[in-house]
Structure 1
Amino acid sequence: MVQQQQGRVIFFCFVFFLLFDSTFEQGVSFSFAEKFALLQLRSSLGLRAKEWPVKGNPCLDWTGILCENGRVTKINISGFKRTRLGSQTPQFSIDALQNLTFLDSFNASNFALPGNIPEWLGNLASLKVLDLKSCSIIGPIPPTLGNLTSLVTLNLSNNGITGQIPSSFGQLSHLSTLDLSKNKLVGPIPASFGSLQNLTLLDMSSNFFNGAIPPDIGTLLQLKSLNLSDNSLISSIPAQLGNLSNLVDLDLSSNSLTGVVPELGGLRNLQRFTVENNGLSGSLPDALWSMPQLQLLDVSANNFTGILPNVSSVVNATGAVFNLSQNMFYGNLPSLNRRFSFLDLSGNYFEGKLPDYARSNASINSNCLQNVSSQRNVSSQRSRSECASFYSERGLSFDNFGEPNATEPLPAPKSNKKSHRNVIILAAVLGSVGLIALLLICILLLIFCTRKRGGTTQRATEVGPGPASSSPPPPPGPGVSLNFSSLGDAFTYQQILQATGEFNDANLMKHGHSGDLFRGILEGGTLIVVKRIDVNSARKEAYLSELDFFSKVSHSRLVPFMGHCLDNENENEKFLVYKYMPNGDLSSSLFRKNNSDDDSLQSLDWITRLKIAIGAAEGLSYLHHECNPPLVHRDVQASSILLDDKFEVRLGSLNEVCAQEGDSHQNRISRLLRFPQTSEQGASGTPSATCAYDVYCFGKVLLELVTGKLGISASNDASMKEWLDGTLKYISIYDKELVTNIVDPSLIIDEDLLEEVWAMAIVARSCLNPKPSRRPLMRYILKALENPLKVVREEHTSSARLRATSSRSSWNAALFGSWRSSSDVAAVPAAAAVNKLEATSSLKQSGTTGSQGSGPNGDNGHSSSTRRHSKEIFPEPHEE
């Protein structure tokens, strides 16, 4: 029916076109076949009369049409909108282009063309420019595109293209720009690319390419930009890349590259070199430091080691950014003559004194440096034992933070009778104090046990957490001036206004609790998010706390911080700038609206959901276990889990992050004595900053991924707690089928994937234990999510769960340490499991543990996934 309507439209348009042919300007000769071809294209794409008026002359009046001698040579429909009828059934329907024999440029970027690239497109021999960026294209690249031997620019980026690159691309000898980034391409990079001798830009980032980097790329002497980041490339960096003397940008980050970096001394014009997040090792070539044009060097998150060269004679490069963090560099920091915009040396093993240049515009956290505790922008260094062990393993001497080593003889103190007498007196005093303290503890324990037998113990303090605390991290002290000029870019107020369209409402993303978030775009085309903070309505020091956090912490799972604007005419407004995350946050991406005009929703598949869970766990594990002191996020929910274009997690909402409260030893004593502050409700009545609080909130995020119920992680009201109680009873270690009652119905999963869903549900329940002390650590949660089948399969769990208390070294045992075994609960058949769990969850724990009920043994004919054991393991019931 739709095709018949389109046919009628084409016919009437054609007749109408002929009737008004006399309106064309005199002297303009226009091919009859090309007139008809443009009308066909106008109809098949559903273009509006606003851009292509049917009465006008296409060569003179149609937007984006360029003609020479009455023949169409260029068509540009980039960003056009379809008519209402055309938007109902959008297709990759451009067959009419076959009749435009002089066409040399077709640009449809940002115009939806859902479908496959037609094979006949390779017959347009005169085509020089083909731009299909962000067109919703799917399917493979047809090999016939290799026939477009006149092609100069080919851009297929930001689509859903699959399969491998055709080897026929080696025939595109005139090609200058090739952009295949942000697709789903696989396989190796074709060796035939070595034939593209005119190539100046090659961008194949954010795909799934594997194998080695072809050495033949080193023969592309015209190449200025090479981007192979975010793939699965292996092997080493070929030394032939050092021949690319015109290269300006080289990005090989986020792959699996190993080996050493070759000298690359021939890259005289290189300005940006990034290889972060690989497995590269060895020392850093001196040539990288001596490149006069180099503005960005990022080698972070690798295995580089060695002593940095002394480069004091290097030509200045004002504003350069060097990131050497998360490696194994050691020795004294070198003398640097560069005027760096920012220098990140954190996460290494540098020793010695802190140079002057590193006191203001460098990050030096987690090293082995001396006398840095007085620096306001520096957090703690590595421990003495960690540094000494690193240097000892390599046969190197460690300066021991400038103090005498333990092996060196210390001067003997002078001995006299008076000193001996003082020691004896001091020992007697300390012994008396210790005895009194011991007696006091015994008395308190006796009082506690008496109250417990009388039923007056305050158990309510151990119930799950409430909403995120509004109590901020401690702000800088009065009169303290923090210098964040070296943290990211310092944007001007005019730049912020221009990027956000003067904070146009159309660019408002949401009202955050610390400021309004606006979408923006910089002059170079970089997408950003700007947080506008009103210091009158928000906490005045909130933005300073966040800036301080970013000055000390750097990790790939945190939202990339780009800069700030702290100085403007209105002193009541501050602005923080972050990298834009194309897929928003988990709360908006779990169910996304389809590209079509209908109101149907597209659900994230299970593989992506598991990937998101692992990514969020990695970020939280970094904060909890790799930062010293441990950091607590305090706002873990779906809206805080941001997703980039490949659904990689970046944690946001970092304005509430602060150091974990209290000392672990002191917390254990407090729990023993049942002080009211031991729960997650602190002395102020708000949740305290503990890692266990983050774990509880993360458990709700996992349930959101399993059940598909939106808003779980953002709510703590009574109805949500009631929903949790009703849902958790369907999660049993020994019965996989129970979990099918709560699984998101939009998920399409087979038997193997169901086991992974089951495992995530079990991890979620462990996180939601009402006792903070019995929740698993985040590093164990991460291990469990990375190995979900080991959580549920018999050979790994049948004995580990029951021996959790005696096997704490196992992540599996630590995870299931939050499940308590009841000594007199027999196994129940799957059919009765729900009723039994309901009965169990309603019990209230008193001074002694009573029976939680039992059921008959036997086989009810259920699947083998129901496990038979003499004892069932249940989580502790929620305490009233």
Structure 2
Amino acid sequence: MEAKRVLVLAALVLFFIQCAAAQRSTLNSSVEWSALRRLRSSLGLRARDWPIKADPCRNWTGVECRDGQVTAISVSGLRRTRVGRMNPRFAVDTLANLTLLETFNASGFLLPGSIPEWFGFRLQGLQVLDLRSCAVNGAVPSSLGNLSRLTHLYLNHNNLTGNIASSLGQLTELSVLDLSRNFLTGSIPASFSMMSNLSMLDLSSNYISGTVPAGFGSVSSLRVLNLSYNSLTASIPGELGNLSQLVELDLSKNSFSGALPVELGGLRSLKGMRIGSNSLEGQLPEGFFSGLSQLEVVVLSQNKLDGRIPSGVWSLPGLRLIDISANNFTGELPSVGLNGNVTRAIFNFSDNMLYGSLNSSIRFFNLTDLSGNYFQGKVSDDSQRNATLDRNCLQVLPDQRSLADCRLFYSERGLQFDDFGASGPTDSPFPVSASKKNRRRVYILIGVFGGLALIVVMVVIVVLLLRKCNKSIPDQRSIADKGPAPDGDGQTVPKEPSELSGLGDVFSYEQLAHATSEFSESNLIKHGHSGDLYRGILENGTIVVIKRVDLRSFDRESYIRELEIFRKISNTRFVPLLGHCFEHENEKLLVYKYMPNGDLASSFYRATDLEDESMQSLDWITRLKIAIGAAEALSYLHHECNPPLVHRDVQVGSILLDDKFEVRVGSLSESRAQDGDSHGNVITRLLRKPQTSEQGTSGSSSANCAYDVFCFGKVLLELVTGKLGISKSDDATIREWLEHTLSYISVHDKELVTKIMDPSLIVDEDFLEEVWAMAIVARSCLNPRPSKRPLMRYVLKALENPLKVVREDSSSSARLQTASSRKSWNVAFFGSLRHSSSDSNTVPTQINSNGFKQSGRVGSHSSGGNDYSSSHKRLSSEIFPEPIAITDMERLDEH
């Protein structure tokens, strides 16, 4: 009986506690009730997340209360209604009425507009302000310096401009300040040295200039300092060596000069240092590494550092990667005192002026890049497996420097050179006996190729004479296809094709005018570059798209070219042409099938759940599906049409989507046969009349499949990053954005891609690998050298098998590696990202986790030559099989 009484009392106590808790969690303030309702309306939030009749403290997603008042609001991840989606803006004025608000998190929630000044005056209790990836623009308001309780301020990945407000230095409680990936200018405020509790400062990827202000060394709590991708100048202040808690230091991609300060040796807790792509000069002090006992990553590449490599480099117990490539280091490698840790590290000493013989202990290292130096002597087979040794002065090995180059280097320094092990003077790095043995063969080859060259010259002369003689004789076949030239134009203009098969039904002008309400503005979809597009409804109720081509305003040649394309192609990946109307001489009408989901640009953020009118970007499965569909269309044009066809306008506006989000590529008016088509014989190509170089809508200067691949790479980046509009433009801003974004794509670091991934994209671990794979494919497509971009059929194959791209130990990869001397298609394809580039217009070199330079260059057999990497030559020319090996590769895939 007593036990029952205790149980009843406990139940009553628990009931009263729950009632009290419920009472405390109920919103008591009518002012805050009203403020939240207005915020719900101004942001366009769904009733499912913020139900209008429910208590916000208990039932609204992301709202937290204490003692009946709102303390935290998070709209990150919430979706808008259709109305809210149509007019997103920075409309949060009612927050001013939430006097106890401590946290406002809108990360990834679209809030275009500027941060109001009243934030710093009305939200005095704010501790966390998270506006990353919100499309916020304008300047950082100086009033934010009044938020004395603020501990975390995230404004990264927006469109902020202007100078950094010096008042932010007043935020003495601030722990995290992230202003990266904006368009901020000016200098780093000196007041930042007063933020005594700051642990992370990220100002990377802006346009900040000037110097690192004095006093930074006093911020002893700083653990992460990232100032990369700016325009900082002068020398690196030695006082940074006072940052005893520093874990990560990134000063890359600036314009620092001078030598590295010895004081940096005091950074005993430093885990990673990156000072690449600057203008640092001078030597590394001998004791530079002695004080950095916690160093794990050292990147000093692409500077002007010289002198000998400090011997302390081998003594770092936690070292994982050191990259000092592309400097002026000289001398012999310091003797290696092997320990258990250093042998697991990755070393990149390439492109310096190191010399002497190689210590046999290099065979114990994990990976070592010593290419582009002047090492001499012999190396063991074991060493060759772990090291990249091309472009040195080593014996026996292929792809070494010339004898003259090596002799000059050693003689200038008064050093003895072994002449590649030859017994006497020679001009070849190979044994004299081999040269004599092959001399006769060389003479024969010279004679053969000399004769062929003479024949080619004679053929060219004959062709030129024939052209000159027949200049005034019209081509009969051309006459059949061309009409009279318009006034003032010396060139003939094509007529409509006499054969209309394959161009769909014939419509009357009256039918199509009625379908579009006399081509009213209300039915206008857009003004295209080859005609105006209208939405129309035929008499049978079919919705169509009608292109109205006014030949007085648009190019007739483009219009005829599009008709010819439709006659040639037969692939479901292109927008079907349903019919035409050629009644009027100067006005032509083409009728296409209507695509319910429009183009990729308009459907990317379209609602996918019409019932609750949610605002959501395309999910990853749909994005990958779209990428594969577009790649199939381009692969068809490039590899299944004869001659190959080039689209020349690949962008999000040209990728149309049907009701199931299947790709239907449009905008074929700019398409044409590839320049310099290889399907014809030599005489045919010589006889071909020269064509005027015509710039495509996307900036193409010629019809080349490699240009389509480049544009498709930008589309893939749009799918990964969510930044639409990249593929439609090629201005300086876009090029700079590409350069910055590609630096986050590494074949060895999956986590890097999360820094550029669309914040609204929610993926699990497997899908993240697919996102990573697509980013890698995009980078290979964006190689600045057209001849080094992948063929579209290989791009398609990579997108269809994304996990094979990043999982090199897959069975198919292993099979190909065993069955062929070349690596599997995906290893070869993406191995090229380890290559360095000497091109002035290449993407800036990045260092992957294996310590090798990667510039996004992907080799292709279309170049007709070898492009040897300075950092990993063994994968060069394996990027895509040479023509002779393609059949073998595909035969292996079939098995």
Map Cα deviations across residues 762-808 of structure 1 (whole Å, 9 max, x no partner). Answer: xxxxxxxxxxxxxxxxxxxxxxxxxxxxxxxxxxxxxxxxxxxxxxx
1:54 to partner: Cα distance? 2.0
1:557 matched residue in structure 2: 843
1:345 matched residue in structure 2: 349
> SS in structure 2 opposite 1:335?
coil
Alpha-carbon distance change, 656 to 101 in structure 1, aligned in 2, over 3 angstroms: same
Map Cα deviations across residues 459-478 of structure 1 (whole Å, 9 max, x no partner). Answer: 3466899868xxxxxxxxxx
Matches within 5 A, 1:146-295: 146-263=145-262, 264-290=264-290, 291-295=292-296
Alpha-carbon distance change, 75 to 502 in structure 1, aligned in 2, over 3 angstroms: closer
Alpha-carbon distance change, 283 to 447 in structure 1, aligned in 2, over 3 angstroms: closer
Alpha-carbon distance change, 191 to 380 in structure 1, aligned in 2, over 3 angstroms: same
1:188 to partner: Cα distance? 0.9
Aligned partner of 1:333: which letter?
A: L
Map Cα deviations across residues 712-752 of structure 1 (whole Å, 9 max, x no partner). Answer: xxxxxxxxxxxxxxxxxxxxxxxxxxxxxxxxxxxxxxxxx
Matches within 5 A, 1:520-599: 534-535=812-813, 541-546=824-829, 549=832, 553=836, 557=843
Q: Is 550-559 or 140-149 further displaced after alignment?
A: 550-559
**C-alpha contact 2:244 2:266 (8 A) present in aligned 1:** yes
Aligned partner of 2:415: which letter?
A: F
Distance 1:45 1:445 in 2: 72
**C-alpha contact 1:351 1:369 (8 A) present in aligned 2:** yes
**C-alpha contact 2:204 2:226 (8 A) present in aligned 1:** yes
Alpha-carbon distance change, 145 to 579 in structure 1, aligned in 2, over 3 angstroms: farther
Query: What do you get for the CA RMSD once the two structures are aligned?
Result: 5.1
**C-alpha contact 2:306 2:327 (8 A) present in aligned 1:** yes
Matches within 5 A, 1:451-850: 459-460=683-684, 489=748, 499-501=765-767, 512-516=795-799, 534-535=812-813, 541-546=824-829, 549=832, 553=836, 557=843, 655-656=879-880
1:45 to partner: Cα distance? 0.8
Alpha-carbon distance change, 82 to 453 in structure 1, aligned in 2, over 3 angstroms: closer
1:379 matched residue in structure 2: 390
Alpha-carbon distance change, 401 to 366 in structure 1, aligned in 2, over 3 angstroms: farther
1:39 to partner: Cα distance? 1.2
**C-alpha contact 1:165 1:189 (8 A) present in aligned 2:** yes
Alpha-carbon distance change, 537 to 353 in structure 1, aligned in 2, over 3 angstroms: closer
> SS in structure 1 opposite 2:311?
coil
Aligned partner of 2:414: which letter?
A: S
TM-score with structure 2 setting the length: 0.51
1:265 to partner: Cα distance? 2.2
Map Cα deviations across residues 358-396 of structure 1 (whole Å, 9 max, x no partner). Answer: 345111111111235962543332445445555666xx3
Aligned partner of 2:199: which letter?
A: T
Map Cα deviations across residues 432-463 of structure 1 (whole Å, 9 max, x no partner). Answer: 99999999899878877877787799534668
Map Cα deviations across residues 613-665 of structure 1 (whole Å, 9 max, x no partner). Answer: xx99xxx9x9969859999999xxxxxxxxxxxxxxxxxxx93288xxxxxxx
Aligned partner of 1:379: which letter?
A: D
Distance 1:341 1:434 in 2: 45
2:308 matched residue in structure 1: 307
Alpha-carbon distance change, 153 to 383 in structure 1, aligned in 2, over 3 angstroms: farther
Aligned partner of 1:112: which letter?
A: L
Distance 1:307 1:240 in 2: 25
> SS in structure 2 opposite 1:222?
coil
Alpha-carbon distance change, 202 to 402 in structure 1, aligned in 2, over 3 angstroms: farther
1:34 matched residue in structure 2: 32
**C-alpha contact 2:770 2:802 (8 A) present in aligned 1:** no
1:783 matched residue in structure 2: none
1:56 to partner: Cα distance? 2.2
Alpha-carbon distance change, 684 to 314 in structure 1, aligned in 2, over 3 angstroms: closer
Aligned partner of 1:269: which letter?
A: S
Distance 1:305 1:341 in 2: 22
> SS in structure 2 opposite 1:273?
strand
1:216 to partner: Cα distance? 1.6
Match of 1:80 among 78, 81, 88: 78
1:112 matched residue in structure 2: 110
Aligned partner of 2:277: which letter?
A: N
Distance 1:234 1:45 in 2: 43
Alpha-carbon distance change, 387 to 326 in structure 1, aligned in 2, over 3 angstroms: farther
Alpha-carbon distance change, 274 to 185 in structure 1, aligned in 2, over 3 angstroms: same
1:354 matched residue in structure 2: 358
Q: Specify every segment of 5 or more residues in structure 2 that has no aligned partner in the other structure, as ranges.
A: 1-18, 393-400, 427-432, 467-680, 689-701, 707-745, 755-762, 778-793, 888-895
Distance 2:876 2:316 in 1: 42
Corresponding pairs, count: 529
1:88 to partner: Cα distance? 0.8
Distance 1:378 1:253 in 2: 27
Distance 2:133 2:438 in 1: 74
Aligned partner of 2:302: which letter?
A: A
**C-alpha contact 1:508 1:518 (8 A) present in aligned 2:** no
Alpha-carbon distance change, 112 to 404 in structure 1, aligned in 2, over 3 angstroms: same
1:340 to partner: Cα distance? 3.6
Alpha-carbon distance change, 29 to 357 in structure 1, aligned in 2, over 3 angstroms: same
Alpha-carbon distance change, 437 to 168 in structure 1, aligned in 2, over 3 angstroms: closer
TM-score with structure 1 setting the length: 0.52
**C-alpha contact 2:207 2:231 (8 A) present in aligned 1:** yes
Identity of aligned residues (%): 35
> SS in structure 2 opposite 1:459?
helix
**C-alpha contact 2:836 2:845 (8 A) present in aligned 1:** no
**C-alpha contact 2:750 2:769 (8 A) present in aligned 1:** no
> SS in structure 1 opposite 2:389?
coil
**C-alpha contact 1:130 1:155 (8 A) present in aligned 2:** yes
Aligned partner of 2:107: which letter?
A: S
> SS in structure 2 opposite 1:119?
coil
Alpha-carbon distance change, 632 to 203 in structure 1, aligned in 2, over 3 angstroms: same
Distance 2:457 2:802 in 1: 58
> SS in structure 2 opposite 1:173?
coil
2:53 matched residue in structure 1: 55
Aligned partner of 1:245: which letter?
A: S
> SS in structure 1 opposite 2:258?
coil
Quick check: 1:398 aligned with 2:415?
yes
Alpha-carbon distance change, 578 to 519 in structure 1, aligned in 2, over 3 angstroms: farther
**C-alpha contact 2:272 2:295 (8 A) present in aligned 1:** yes
Distance 2:362 2:196 in 1: 43
1:328 to partner: Cα distance? 1.1
Map Cα deviations across residues 483-525 of structure 1 (whole Å, 9 max, x no partner). Answer: xxxx975999xx9x963338789997888244227889xxxxx
Q: Specify every segment of 5 or more residues in structure 1 that has no aligned partner in the other structure, as ranges.
A: 1-21, 412-422, 469-486, 521-527, 565-576, 586-614, 635-653, 659-681, 687-880
Map Cα deviations across residues 14-63 of structure 1 (whole Å, 9 max, x no partner). Answer: xxxxxxxx999445462121111111111111111222222322212222
Aligned partner of 1:206: which letter?
A: S
Q: Is 119-128 or 373-382 further displaced after alignment?
A: 373-382
1:530 to partner: Cα distance? 7.4
**C-alpha contact 1:281 1:304 (8 A) present in aligned 2:** yes
Alpha-carbon distance change, 202 to 431 in structure 1, aligned in 2, over 3 angstroms: closer
**C-alpha contact 1:349 1:387 (8 A) present in aligned 2:** no
**C-alpha contact 1:500 1:519 (8 A) present in aligned 2:** no
Distance 1:438 1:71 in 2: 90
Aligned partner of 1:139: which letter?
A: G
> SS in structure 1 opposite 2:91?
coil
Distance 2:289 2:104 in 1: 43
1:313 to partner: Cα distance? 7.2
1:127 matched residue in structure 2: 126
**C-alpha contact 1:519 1:580 (8 A) present in aligned 2:** no
> SS in structure 2 opposite 1:67?
strand
Distance 2:438 2:106 in 1: 82
Alpha-carbon distance change, 518 to 261 in structure 1, aligned in 2, over 3 angstroms: farther
Alpha-carbon distance change, 188 to 78 in structure 1, aligned in 2, over 3 angstroms: same
Aligned partner of 2:126: which letter?
A: L
Map Cα deviations across residues 297-325 of structure 1 (whole Å, 9 max, x no partner). Answer: 0001111111112238725226x111111
